[in-house]
């Protein structure tokens, strides 16, 4: 019998604040970081998970992972990875630790990191990338992985089964298509607030030349800057490429409405995070007032219960799932099924560290075995930090290529986790010595 | 110039799971715990804060407090404690750590613990208990302490000023009244799920004899048990004492409606936490469907933005603020002002460790300088673990007595924090040796 031998965490940080990559109206100086976790078994297996953070506080998430790890060490590996619904609930609903959220913030993300590492072991055992593992699982096992607590008024296990059964039709053809042609991407690379106009224009043109049908610009610094930058970007990409804009929760409700409406001239496709992601009612009001610009959110949506309400209230046009904000693969399946139930497209959030590598699997799974469509669906792509992963996300001609290696995509190169470990890795030692 | 010298945390846990005190439908085996923090200055001052948790995971909150502490050590004490609005924002909106919430869960509670410790220094400098400090502060300073981010669509600084200016009228009389007569309490002591029928009846009768006008029972184990226990309690207390019931988020929306309506015979006064506290829309639906039973929530409401929406959506009849769930005194002032703006009574959540000691100050302040009324307002009281505090909450004849010692009420006895420190304190060493 295989047992969980250890849960080891590493605080990995990249000093991205030294550049202005990743800067927006709220996250002014992020050091893109990963609270990284490896679960090992006494049979010599390893599973990897991570939680993305912006630098300071990454050590709180690793501490939380260590704590949740104590609930796993010594347990039967087979029992855990063959019953991932139950394994997830064991962490998320631990009777004492539940108070720390419940189901939100540091504790929820940390639990999610460990849940993902268990999925990584499962996928490696089956020698499949996560998206294919999920796509080929029985509807019954997928449904058993979902926690329907507090979403049953919008999605029952029966609803989920219906959706998944419909998703079976034509699945094999779609899997072949994904392997051949991948899935559409959009890029945020041109649009960081810290970039000069010249860099914005140059990168926007490059994005179009690289085959992207959509780019994203950060906004909400000043309305004059936003109008100027959007005008430049629109001129650079032409009328047919979509331009999304992203305010990173900077505004109050009325402020969002007034500001966004002053940008209508440039036909932005969506406004992302116009206000607090906790604020379902404000999103609903903003969505009504800025039509036809779409309202989207999700990278900071704490759990399926908030997403459910966003959908019930007609507060969003598009759901942006995130691979490390919620309780792992299980809760992301719940989110995909909720979106399907409300016929709302999912356009995942990515970037940061490892988010592209992880989140792509959910869109591939969604196309293969849930909605069967790519219409108005794109995965975010940011071109940095991929080189630290054993299987870096690959985007070419504006499309994500299907991941092929077994696992969930979170495994990093040992050289990377060592050199960038904080504060003792070589890179940080050097920086501190300056 | 005084500087912050240290931020020291202690993981304090009481093995309450050995009894069945504190058991409910969700929290089945809590070890009531405090992530305890002492901020010292190089002038020899000390300020204390704490975050209540249910045991496992308390170490994650202390780790988070240590991290936030690094943002304070070495800073000018006067600047911090004389500008508590700015000091709060410095922690809550730290550009990198914000990602961990934002404004929710472990990181938010930990920041709140430190913010409270800064208020403790301020109150001790002014030699006033917190409630009196707040009641005697200028409206301007109170308003400057509030973070209006993402609540301006319901409460502007101007609204807050108006409310506080009205609260000035008759304030001195009300302060005198509070000092003489205190503030009404209710008790949860009889109602834990783990208690026998005999104990429930005995404690219910004792509560009435002790002068309480309301008791609270935990529900949601089984409908038969709930009907039997409510019937026994109603018989024990008579028709005029209010009985509140509390489901600790156990139900789905429709389940809550069906279940609660089967308890209407026994005239429960309110149903607390019928479902997830994240679920504003479900609370609104439940409230409509279980009238005249009131719907209340708050001990797990993560921040002012969720409370705001609960009020906007007509989802609650009563707001239950909690002293350690949100970002400290500042955010609780925001919550009190939101409640006042929506003419909704505040009945604070207490119990746990230190929650009675801390939260009472907000009701006293509310009566003295905000709403000026106690109508339908009561503070929860649970009679345990008070002996560990330098100024234990005192309830007599069903009323909280006004705290008198300078500070916010979080300071514990050094013997207690030492004996019950986890895992090295004497009590835990003994338990582990068994």
What DSSP assignment string belongs to A154-180? T--HHHHHHHHHHHHTTHHHHHHHHHH
On chain A, the residues whose CB falls within 8 A of the CB of B149 are 252, 276
Distance from CA of A385 to the nearest CA of B (A): 18
Q: Residue A57 falls within a domain, yes or no?
A: yes
Residue A202 in contact with residue A185, Cβ under 8 Å? no
Residues 6+ apart with CB under 8 A from B241: B208, B212, B213, B214, B215
Which of A149, A183, A212 is the last residue in one of the domains? A149
- Is there a single domain that holds both residue B111 and residue B240? no
Tell me: do A136 and A175 sit in the same domain: no
pLDDT tens-place string over residues A234-266: 999 999 999 999 999 999 999 999 999 999 999
Q: How far apart are CA A361 and CA A128, in angstroms?
A: 11
- Integer Cα distance of B318 and B270 in angstroms: 9
Rounded alpha-carbon distances, angstroms, from residue B225 to B24, B107, B194, B430 = 13, 38, 12, 37
Among A residues 233-292, those touching chain B with beta carbons less than 8 Å apart: 249, 252-254, 275-276, 278-282
Is B428 inside any structural domain? no
Average pLDDT of every residue of chain B: 97
**Residue B103, domain CATH:** 3.30.390.10
Instruction: Look at residues A140, A142, A144, A160 and name the one whose alpha carbon lies nearest to residue A152.
Output: A160
Q: Is B161 a member of any domain?
A: no
A301 and A277 in contact (C-beta within 8 Å)?
yes
Nearest-neighbour CA in chain B from A106: distance (Å): 6
Identify which of A38, A41, A39, A34 has the alpha carbon closest to the alpha carbon of residue A12. A34
Mean pLDDT of B83-90: 98
Residues of B identified as active-site: 218, 349
Q: Please indicate whether, in this complex, the C-beta atoms of A106 and B64 are within 8 angstroms of each other.
A: yes
Q: Hey, how many other C-beta atoms are within 10 angstroms of the C-beta on B407? A: 27
Question: Residues of A with CB below 8 A from B60's CB?
Answer: 60, 63-64, 67, 100, 106-107, 110
A297 contacts A320 by C-beta, under 8 angstroms: yes
Q: Is B252:A150 a contact under the CB 8 Å cutoff?
A: yes
B196 Cα distance to chain centroid: 27
What pLDDT does residue A22 have? Answer: 62
* Residues B34, B412 contacting (CB under 8 angstroms): yes
Of B30, B54, B252, the CB nearest to A153: B252
Query: Residue A271: what pLDDT?
Result: 98
Same domain, B45 and B127: yes
B46-53: strand order across its sheet: B4-13, B33-41, B46-53
Residues B187 and B331 in one domain: yes
Whether A344 and A317 have beta carbons less than 8 Å apart is answered as: yes
Within 13 A of A258's CA, how many CA atoms are on the CB side? 7
**Residue B175 distance to chain A (closest CA, Å):** 35
pLDDT value of residue A20:
60
Query: Is there a contact between B12 and B184 (Cβ–Cβ < 8 Å)?
Result: no
Query: Are the beta carbons of A112 and A5 closer than 8 angstroms?
Result: no
Interface touch B96/A300, C-beta < 8 Å: no
| CB–CB contact B97 A54 (8 Å) | yes
* Alpha-carbon torsion (A188, A191, A194, A198), positive or negative: positive
CA nearest to A226, candidates A252, A193, A250, A198: A193
Tokens of A262: 């002053």
Q: A306 to chain B: which residues are within 8 Å by CB? A: 278
Of B29, B94, B249, nearest to A96 by CB-CB distance is: B29
Q: Which of A216, A283, A349, A361 is catalytic?
A: A349
The reply to whether B221 and B257 lie within a common domain is yes
Q: Is residue A271 situated within a structural domain? A: yes
The DSSP bridge partners found for residue A217 are A191, A245
Does B56 contact A102 at a Cβ distance shorter than 8 Å? no
Return the pLDDT at B23: 67
Res B427 pLDDT > 80 = yes
**Hey, CA dihedral for A69, A70, A71, A72, is it positive or negative?**
positive
Active site residue A288: no
Q: What is the DSSP code string of B75-105?
A: SBHHHHHT-HHHHHHHHHT-TTGGGG-SS-H
Q: Which residues of B touch A101 (CB under 8 A)?
A: 105-106
Domain membership flag for residue A423: no
How many CB atoms are closer than 10 A to CB A225?
13
Structure tokens at A364: 């591939």
3-state secondary structure of A249: coil
For the record, the structure tokens of A235 come out as 């001129």
Kindly identify which residue of chain B lies nearest to residue A68, measuring between CA atoms: B57
Taking chain A (434 residues) in consecutive chunks of 10 residues, what is each chunk's mean pLDDT? 97 88 72 98 98 98 98 98 98 97 98 98 98 98 98 98 98 98 96 90 97 96 96 97 97 98 98 98 98 98 98 98 98 99 98 97 98 98 96 98 98 98 97 88
Whether residue A176 lies inside any domain: the answer is yes
In a domain, residue B368? The reply is yes
HEC per residue, A144-155: HHCCCCCCCCCC
Q: Which residue in chain A has the smallest CA separation from B253?
A: A153
Q: What is the pLDDT of residue B420?
A: 98
Whether residue A177 sits in one domain with residue A81 = no
B177-204 confidence digits (pLDDT tens):
999 999 999 999 898 888 899 999 999 9
Do B194 and B106 lie in one domain? The reply is no
Angle B103-A350-A166 (CA atoms, 0-180°, nearest 5)? 105
Taking CA–CA distances from A324, the nearest residue in chain B reads: B100
Q: Are A388 and A416 in contact (CB under 8 A)?
A: yes
Instruction: Provide the shortest C-alpha distance from residue A284 to chain B (in Å).
Output: 12
ipTM: 0.97
Q: Which domain holds residue A200?
A: 171-415
| DSSP one-letter code for A239 | S
Read off the pLDDT of residues B29-80 as tens digits, 9 standing for 90 and up.
Answer: 899 999 999 999 999 999 999 999 999 999 999 999 999 999 999 999 999 9
- Are A31 and B55 within 8 A, CB to CB? no
How many residue pairs from chains A and B have C-beta atoms closer than 8 A? Answer: 195
Single pTM value for the model = 0.98
Which pLDDT belongs to residue B1?
Answer: 87
How many angstroms separate the first and last alpha carbons of chain B? 51
Residue B430 belongs to some domain of the structure? no
Here the tokens at position A210 are: 């690289």
- What is chain B's length? 434
- Cα(A194)–Cα(A263) distance, integer angstroms: 20
Q: Which residues of B touch A334 (CB under 8 A)?
A: none
d(CA B268, CA B214): 10
Shared domain for B191 and B336, answered yes or no, is yes
Residue A179 and residue A89 in one domain? no
| Whole-angstrom distance, CA of residue A323 vs CA of residue B11 | 32
DSSP state of B412: B
Closest CA to A323 of A268, A273, A362: A362
Let me know how many helices (H) and strands (E) chain B has, helices first. Answer: 17, 12
Helix, strand, coil proportions of chain A in percent (round to 5)? 45, 15, 40
Of A56, A64, A281, the CB nearest to B97: A56
Give residues 106 to 145 of B whose Cβ lies within 8 Å of A.
Answer: 106-110
Res B22 pLDDT > 80: no
Residues B88 and B181 in one domain: no
Same domain for B36 and B135: yes
Strand partners, A36: A10, A50
Indicate the SS3 state at residue A189.
Answer: strand
Residue A281 shares a structural domain with residue A363: yes
Q: B91-95 long-range contacts, Cβ below 8 Å, gap at least 24? A: B91/B115, B91/B327, B92/B147, B92/B327, B93/B149, B94/A56, B94/A57, B94/B68, B95/A26, B95/A27, B95/A28, B95/A29, B95/A30, B95/A54
List Cα–Cα distances, B123 to B33, B72, B265, B417, in angstroms: 25, 18, 47, 22
Overall domain count for chain B:
2
Question: Under an 8 A CB cutoff, do A279 and B305 touch?
Answer: yes
Question: Which of B63, B303, B309 lies closest to A280 in CB terms?
Answer: B309
Q: Token pair of B11, please?
A: 């993981």
pLDDT at B192: 86
**Cα–Cα distance measured from residue B16 to residue B34, given in angstroms and rounded to the nearest whole number:** 13
Q: What is the DSSP letter of A389?
A: B
Q: How far apart are CA A295 and CA A347, in angstroms?
A: 12
Nearest to A95 among B28, B253, B302 (CB): B28
Q: Please, which residues 82-111 of chain B have a Cβ atom closer than 8 Å to chain A?
A: 94-110
**For residue B218, what is the domain's CATH number?**
3.20.20.120
């Amino acid at each position: 019998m295989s047992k969980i031998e250890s849960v080891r965490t590493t605080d990995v940080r990249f000093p991205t604040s030294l550049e202005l990559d990743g800067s927006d109206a709220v996250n002014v100086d992020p050091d893109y970081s990963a609270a990284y976790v490896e679960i090992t078994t006494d049979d010599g297996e390893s599973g990897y998970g991570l939680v993305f953070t912006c630098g300071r506080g990454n050590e709180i998430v690793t501490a939380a992972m260590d704590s949740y790890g104590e609930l796993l060490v010594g347990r039967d590996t087979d029992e855990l990875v063959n019953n991932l619904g139950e394994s997830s609930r064991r962490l998320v609903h631990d009777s004492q630790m539940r108070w720390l959220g419940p189901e939100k913030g540091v504790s929820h993300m940390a639990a999610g990191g460990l849940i993902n590492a268990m999925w990584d072991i499962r996928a490696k055992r089956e020698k499949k990338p996560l998206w294919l593992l999920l796509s080929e699982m029985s509807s019954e096992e997928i449904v058993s992985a979902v926690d329907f607590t507090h979403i049953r008024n919008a999605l029952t296990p029966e609803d989920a089964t219906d959706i998944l059964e419909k998703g079976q039709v034509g699945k094999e053809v779609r899997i072949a298509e994904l392997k051949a042609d991948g899935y559409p991407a959009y890029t945020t690379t041109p649009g960081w607030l810290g970039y000069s106009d010249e860099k914005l224009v140059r990168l926007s043109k490059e994005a179009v030349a690289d085959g992207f049908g959509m780019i994203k610009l950060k906004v909400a610094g000043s309305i004059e800057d936003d109008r100027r930058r959007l005008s430049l970007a629109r001129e650079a990409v032409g009328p047919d490429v979509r331009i999304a804009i992203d305010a990173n929760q900077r505004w109050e409700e009325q402020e969002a409405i007034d500001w966004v409406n002053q940008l209508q001239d440039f036909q932005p496709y969506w406004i992302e995070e116009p206000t607090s992601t906790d604020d379902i009612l404000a999103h609903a009001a903003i969505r009504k007032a800025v039509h036809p610009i779409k309202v989207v959110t999700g990278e900071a949506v704490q759990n399926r219960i908030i997403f459910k309400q966003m959908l019930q209230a007609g507060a969003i046009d598009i759901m942006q799932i995130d691979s490390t904000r919620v309780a792992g693969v299980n809760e992301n399946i719940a989110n995909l099924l909720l979106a399907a139930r409300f016929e709302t497209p999912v356009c995942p959030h990515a970037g940061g560290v490892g988010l592209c590598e992880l989140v792509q699997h959910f869109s591939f799974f969604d196309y293969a075995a849930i909605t069967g469509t790519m219409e108005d669906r794109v995965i975010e792509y940011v071109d940095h930090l991929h080189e630290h992963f054993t299987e870096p996300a690959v985007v070419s001609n504006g499309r994500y290529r299907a991941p092929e290696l077994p696992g969930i995509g979170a495994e990093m190169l040992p050289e990377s986790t060592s050199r960038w470990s904080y504060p003792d890795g070589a890179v940080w030692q050097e920086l501190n010595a300056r």
